[in-house]
Amino acid sequence: MLTKEMIKSEIEKVPDDRLEELYGVVKTYTASQTMSEEERARRIDAVAESVFERRRSVFEELAKGAE
């Protein structure tokens, strides 16, 4: 059975520079508890897109540096 303590121990492993990203995911999840399924899906998609864009830009910068 998953416990909050198990989740907290995994959060402790997240680097400080990634906390904002994790917070956005958690905040979206908790806010979605009072939303309709459709609204919840839209919000999750928006967060996922934001995370993807940030990761893509980091990857692109790394690729430029390797040239």
Q: Which tokens hold the place of 16?
A: 């400080």
Q: For residue range 12-32, list pLDDT tens digits in order.
A: 999 999 888 888 888 877 876
d(CA 28, CA 31): 5
Q: For residue range 29-41, list pLDDT tens digits in order.
A: 787 677 777 887 8
| For the chain, percent of residues with pLDDT exceeding 90 | 22
Torsion angle of the four alpha carbons 30, 36, 41, 42, in this order, in degrees rounded to the nearest 10: -100
